[in-house]
Structure 1
């Protein structure tokens, strides 16, 4: 979700500072409500679409195709699907919205990409390996990712959850 959004900004050469400002504004907007982002009037999908449409350049799909790999989970069978070719800015945005859609939290009816319903790719594979080129894995959990916090403990226990190593 956040990784796909960040990577799309970098791949399309959008202004990363502007996108960071947008994230802060979305957080402020969510916090204005009693239940924060869980309030029924807060629509994360709508906010996300608006921000992507505003911040991504009109040729974002051309710049991102072949360079950006978005991980999605197909609703019909729960399989992970990696998408790296986009025919329009709208198609790129739709893939990103699907990648960020967490069922129930974002709504009850998942969005579709090319006529197929998808949800957050982290549900089926949180650290997908792309065949595009070298993949740098980033995780907020201590483990075996390329970039992750280091745990000072001497524990050798590891948990794997949706392809994420957690130590």
Structure 2
């Protein structure tokens, strides 16, 4: 599993934008500056839709005031589902929704979770602060928990 002070691995994430499907390598897009990455087990699921993503949207300005350049949500869903989820919640451009379509990036991080017949490979719920491509803080939730990856907790751990 990735840990604090590790460099982010390369990988393939996508998003659906106005110009179609956009492809990202996390090592490249998070190479400069300070970024928040958090992951949810699935778009449109109760905790993810009612608490996890909305918390980061609500605190986006507070994160910017702490020097965060971008807030990014990863889920093992396709880019079309992630776009529909963002549209349904009206998040605008406060959080970039990134698709880890087959869970390969979650596996590369060591943060995949096999839910079996329920949903297959998903991401564990986590949050990390990345500074210049290096994991500064990593907060991984225990099974069925939602404490250390929530926006308020992560914001509290940041220094300006």
Same fold (TM over 0.5): no
Higher share of residues assigned strand: 2
- Give 1 or 2 for the bigger CA radius of gyration: 1
TM-score of the aligned structures, taking structure 1 as reference length: 0.30
Question: Normalising by the residue count of structure 2, what TM-score does the alignment of the two structures yield?
Answer: 0.30
Hey, which of these two has a bigger chunk of helix by percent? 1
